[in-house]
Amino acid sequence: MKQFPTPLLVAALLAFGAARLAADTDANETFPSAISTVNPCNGEVVALTGENHLLVHTTEPTSGNFELYFDLSSNYVGTGLTTGVGYQGSEDIFNSFSLQNPFPLVFVLSNDVLLQSATGVDNFKLRVQLHITLNADGVPTASVDNVSTTCNG
Domain ranges of the chain: 6-152
pLDDT in tens, the chain (153 residues): 544 444 444 445 444 444 444 468 899 999 999 999 999 999 999 999 999 999 999 988 877 788 999 999 999 999 999 999 999 999 999 999 998 877 899 999 999 999 999 999 999 999 999 999 999 888 999 999 999 999 997
How far is the C-alpha of 89 from the C-alpha of 78, rounded, in Å? 8
Q: Taking the CA of residue 51 as centre, how many other CA atoms within 13 Å lie in the half-sphere pointing to its CB?
A: 4
- Antiparallel, parallel or unpaired: β 25-38 and 140-152: unpaired
pTM (2 d.p.)? 0.77
**CA distance to 46, 103, 110, per residue, from 52 (Å):** 18, 33, 16
